[in-house]
């Protein structure tokens, strides 16, 4: 405005006109001189109804059309000032492709054509007897449909002798060692596996041992080679290589470097990065079975410079549309509405803030929000570099500022943004800025999930200050499951019958006996609290739970009882020897109970590609139970049962 114009009374505008920031902005954008900047001030009048029910006000009843036209002319609406609607939008997007995935110790290149859940969640499938038989029949079928089908039966008989399936033969429990007794009883009480082996053990060979023999180049020995001619040897070698590839693809042996499951957190931990923008996104505790953009946080630590990779730029042009929601009225004031319009509960009160916000957006600001699509590819990190919006009058507006990265809010509630990634450890660092990019991970929208293959229920025992891992479902080894409680009860019954009870003990008149310690069901695995060693990185915790063992007394000695599920057998070899300790962080076990379930999953990916994997997920289970463990107690002795007691008078039982 001219220098002789009256000064502004607004102290904020007055302070801004004299600041160095204003002078710098005016010089950058080539604006007027300091005293010639046109400034405008205006006030907005917002209508409101005095009635509590706003339905009458929202009906827009017209009683005098001429008065309405006069008011429109009076306010200059016929001139078209500030009434341009957006009709064209051009968006510039920068894409950066994901380059690697890491589990914290091992980093490998990532393939965007691979589903991320399949890469992260998959665990080693237990090589059970069912797997050995199924794979053997697959190998036999491949020979039956090849040029060596005439030698198929002969080769199968040879493989039965060389790679026989181990059958659980009955043994004498009186002669076995206590450790062998426990293993034998567990095998005998697995009725499903016993029936399965009775049917297939003598009819099939071990397909897994054949796979190992192919990898070690020991399957085609001199005896087998003499059965086949030169051309048949070549055909058999080709079949072996195809079978090895199929076995690896189907049962997916995963080495320790590619395992993303963390026992301490009962969840998965991973991070993905892009070389193009030197940015890393990480997941600290993923256990829900559904992985999406909101699972990732941005690591703002400096990354090690890697091989350079260029970004991709793309321009998109669209017709923007008004942002609407189901039930919202038409944005044209005089349009006829249909029966689908539902404004919700319009009875406004101090407790209905959400209703007021929706009504205000719908009736006053609905024309100010526009939606335009943005084409993205899975496995990309995208950023909008700028938007040019053109209205119906040909005026263009350039938008180049993104929210999040420049915010100085003290909490997430101070930001107005969606689909952004927060900084890792934001509350600890008090840094609530967000990444200005949109991360679209290559995750599947839906999977088909089987029933529980294994299930472990974690329960807190506050009285003993420990945690119990209850194996509720156990893999039977032939494609089914065993009820953990019933299975443990059957095994315990046999083991207790082997303990010879002492006879001829001197009877006493004591009312109580001393109990040193009783036992718990065999499917209850204890986890005892232990402190961190000095110098260990214990973060914010002081203790954690370590897998322990409940002893079982058999044949005058104590035998440690090992878990039956593979979820709990981490660090335990096939000989029931502990090679590695298993820990769980204390905060992972909730007071209401935490359950870990192992299931088979299947999904279809791009171009109809199918993925199958075995994965785990953690759930909140509202279950509480008591193990019944007690020790160092005095137990009252009951000498007679109720049926032995005689309540008749002495003279009545003189006979």
CA distance linking residue 632 with residue 622, whole number of Å:
31
Q: Is it the case that residue 195 has pLDDT exceeding 80?
A: yes
Asked if 273 and 208 sit in the same domain, the reply is no
Question: Does 318 map to a domain?
Answer: no
CA distance linking residue 603 with residue 289, whole number of Å:
13
3-state secondary structure 576-638: CCECCCCEEEHHHCCCCCEEEEEEEEEEECHHHCEEEEEEEEEEECCCCCCCCCCEEEEEECC
Q: What is the tens place of the pLDDT at every residue in 246-300?
A: 998 888 766 666 788 888 888 898 888 888 888 889 888 888 778 888 888 888 6
Question: Does 529 map to a domain?
Answer: yes
Question: Does 304 map to a domain?
Answer: no
Provide CB contacts within 8 A for 637, sequence distance 6+: 510, 511, 512, 513
Q: Looking at residue 7, what is its pLDDT?
A: 52
CB atoms under 10 Å from CB of 114, counted, come to 16
640 confidence band (pLDDT: 50, 70, 90): very low
The phi and psi torsions of 141 (rounded to 5 degrees) equal -65, -40
Asked if 171 and 138 sit in the same domain, the reply is yes
The phi and psi torsions of 220 (rounded to 5 degrees) equal -90, 80
Question: Up-side HSE of residue 107: CA atoms within 13 Å toward CB?
Answer: 12
Q: What is the tens place of the pLDDT at every residue in 435-481?
A: 778 888 888 888 888 889 999 999 888 777 788 999 999 998 888 89
Domain boundary among 227, 253, 279: 253
- The pTM for the full model equals 0.73
CA distance linking residue 179 with residue 554, whole number of Å:
9
Asked if 166 and 234 sit in the same domain, the reply is yes
Asked if 261 and 232 sit in the same domain, the reply is no
Mean pLDDT of 305-327: 79
Asked if 460 and 565 sit in the same domain, the reply is yes
Question: Up-side HSE of residue 59: CA atoms within 13 Å toward CB?
Answer: 7
**Angle formed by the axes of helices 230-251 and 207-215, nearest 10°:** 110
Asked if 573 and 479 sit in the same domain, the reply is yes
Asked if 489 and 591 sit in the same domain, the reply is yes
Provide CB contacts within 8 A for 345, sequence distance 6+: 352, 355
CB atoms under 10 Å from CB of 298, counted, come to 20
648 confidence band (pLDDT: 50, 70, 90): very low
Q: What is the tens place of the pLDDT at every residue in 523-558?
A: 899 999 888 776 666 656 788 899 998 888 887 788
Asked if 295 and 165 sit in the same domain, the reply is no
Q: What is the tens place of the pLDDT at every residue in 381-431?
A: 888 888 999 988 888 988 876 655 555 666 666 667 778 888 887 777 777
Asked if 570 and 476 sit in the same domain, the reply is yes
More confident residue, 427 or 335: 427
Asked if 611 and 494 sit in the same domain, the reply is yes
Q: Looking at residue 239, what is its pLDDT?
A: 93
Q: Looking at residue 17, what is its pLDDT?
A: 67
Q: Is it the case that residue 9 has pLDDT exceeding 60?
A: no
Q: What is the largest CA-CA distance in the chain?
A: 132
Q: Is it the case that residue 87 has pLDDT exceeding 50?
A: yes
Whether the CB-CB separation of 101 and 443 falls below 8 Å is answered with no
- Residue 316: both structure tokens together: 């998109």
Asked if 486 and 623 sit in the same domain, the reply is yes
More confident residue, 583 or 174: 583
Q: What is the tens place of the pLDDT at every residue in 223-234?
A: 888 888 888 889
Question: Does 180 map to a domain?
Answer: yes
- Residue 437: both structure tokens together: 């990019």
Whether the CB-CB separation of 170 and 129 falls below 8 Å is answered with no
Question: Does 336 map to a domain?
Answer: no
Asked if 505 and 536 sit in the same domain, the reply is yes
Mean pLDDT of 104-132: 84
Q: Kindly compute the dihedral angle of the four CA atoms of residues 420, 375, 107, 260, in this order, to the nearest 10 degrees.
A: 70
- Helix (H, G, I), strand (E, B), or coil: what is residue 654? coil
Tell me which residue range forms the domain holding 552: 450-636
- Residue 586: both structure tokens together: 């204390």
Q: 335: closest CA among 354, 318, 322, 346? A: 322
CA distance linking residue 377 with residue 95, whole number of Å:
9
Q: Looking at residue 36, what is its pLDDT?
A: 57
Q: Is 410 exposed, middle or buried (0-12, 13-18, 19+ CB in 10 A)?
A: exposed
CB atoms under 10 Å from CB of 462, counted, come to 7
CA distance linking residue 141 with residue 163, whole number of Å:
17
Q: Is the dihedral of CA 609, 614, 620, 621 positive or negative?
A: positive
Provide CB contacts within 8 A for 384, sequence distance 6+: 91, 92, 93, 374, 402, 438
Q: Looking at residue 142, what is its pLDDT?
A: 92
CA distance linking residue 16 with residue 613, whole number of Å:
62
Domain boundary among 232, 253, 274: 253
Question: Does 311 map to a domain?
Answer: no
CA distance linking residue 138 with residue 131, whole number of Å:
11
Q: Looking at residue 625, what is its pLDDT?
A: 67
Question: Does 47 map to a domain?
Answer: no
Number of domains present in the structure of the chain: 4
CA distance linking residue 164 with residue 161, whole number of Å:
6
Provide CB contacts within 8 A for 445, sequence distance 6+: none
- Residue 75: both structure tokens together: 């306010």
Question: Does 408 map to a domain?
Answer: no
């Amino acid at each position: 405005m001219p220098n002789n114009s009256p000064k502004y009374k607004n102290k904020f505008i007055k302070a801004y006109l004299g600041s160095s920031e204003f002078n710098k902005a005016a010089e950058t954008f080539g604006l007027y001189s300091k005293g010639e900047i046109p400034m405008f001030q205006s006030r907005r009048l917002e209508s409101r109804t005095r009635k509590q029910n706003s339905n009458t006000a929202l009906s827009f009843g017209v009683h005098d059309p001429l008065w309405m036209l006069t008011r429109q002319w009076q306010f200059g609406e016929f001139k078209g000032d500030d009434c341009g609607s957006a009709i064209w939008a051009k968006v510039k997007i920068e894409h950066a492709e994901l380059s690697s995935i890491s589990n914290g110790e091992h980093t490998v290149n990532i393939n965007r054509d691979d589903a991320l859940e399949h890469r992260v969640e998959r665990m080693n499938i237990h090589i059970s007897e069912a797997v050995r038989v199924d794979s053997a029949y697959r190998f036999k079928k491949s020979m039956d449909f090849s040029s060596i089908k005439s030698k198929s039966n002969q080769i199968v008989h040879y493989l039965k002798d060389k790679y026989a399936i181990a059958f659980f033969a009955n043994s004498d429990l009186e002669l076995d060692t206590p450790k062998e007794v426990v293993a034998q009883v567990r095998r005998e009480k697995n009725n499903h596996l016993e029936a399965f082996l009775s049917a297939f053990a003598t009819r099939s060979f071990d397909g897994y041992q054949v796979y190992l023999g192919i990898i070690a180049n020991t399957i085609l020995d001199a005896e087998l080679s003499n059965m086949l001619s030169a051309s048949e040897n070549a055909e058999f070698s080709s079949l072996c290589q195809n079978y090895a590839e199929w076995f690896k693809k189907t049962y997916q042996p995963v080495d320790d470097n590619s395992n993303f499951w963390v026992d301490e957190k009962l969840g998965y931990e991973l991070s993905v990065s892009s070389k193009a923008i030197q940015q890393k996104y990480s997941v600290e505790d993923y256990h829900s079975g559904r992985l999406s953009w909101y699972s990732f946080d941005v690591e703002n630590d400096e990354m090690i410079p890697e091989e350079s990779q260029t970004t991709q730029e793309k321009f998109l042009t669209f017709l923007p549309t008004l942002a609407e929601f189901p039930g919202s009225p038409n944005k044209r004031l005089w349009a006829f509405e249909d029966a689908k319009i539902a404004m919700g509960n319009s009875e406004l009160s101090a407790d209905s803030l959400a209703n007021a916000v929706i009504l205000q957006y719908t009736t006053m600001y609905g024309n100010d929000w526009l939606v335009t699509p943005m084409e993205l590819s899975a496995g990309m990190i995208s950023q909008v570099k700028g938007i040019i919006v053109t209205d119906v009058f040909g005026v263009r507006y350039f938008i180049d500022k993104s929210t999040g990265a420049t915010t100085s809010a003290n909490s997430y509630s101070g930001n107005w943004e969606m689909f952004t990634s927060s900084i890792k450890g934001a509350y600890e660092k008090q840094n609530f800025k967000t990444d200005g990019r949109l991360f679209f991970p290559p995750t599947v929208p839906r999977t088909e999930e089987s029933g529980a293959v294994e299930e472990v229920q974690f329960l807190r025992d506050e009285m003993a200050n420990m945690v119990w891992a209850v194996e509720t479902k156990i893999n039977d080894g032939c494609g089914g499951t065993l009820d953990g409680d019933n299975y443990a009860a059957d095994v315990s019954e046999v083991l207790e019958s082997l303990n010879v009870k002492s006879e001829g003990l001197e009877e006493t008149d004591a009312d109580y006996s001393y109990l040193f310690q009783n036992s718990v069901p065999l499917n209850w695995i204890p986890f005892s609290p232990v402190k961190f060693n000095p110098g260990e990185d214990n973060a914010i915790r002081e203790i954690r739970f370590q897998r322990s063992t409940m002893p079982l007394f058999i044949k005058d000695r104590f035998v440690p009882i090992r878990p039956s599920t593979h979820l709990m057998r981490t660090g335990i070899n096939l000989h029931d020897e502990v090679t590695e300790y298993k820990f769980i962080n204390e905060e992972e076990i909730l007071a209401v109970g935490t359950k870990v379930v192992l299931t088979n999953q299947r999904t279809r990916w791009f171009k109809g590609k199918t993925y199958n994997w075995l994965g785990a997920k953690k759930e909140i289970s509202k279950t509480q139970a008591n193990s019944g463990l007690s020790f160092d107690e005095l137990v009252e002795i009951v000498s007679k049962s109720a049926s032995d007691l005689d309540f008749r008078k002495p003279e009545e039982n003189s006979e």
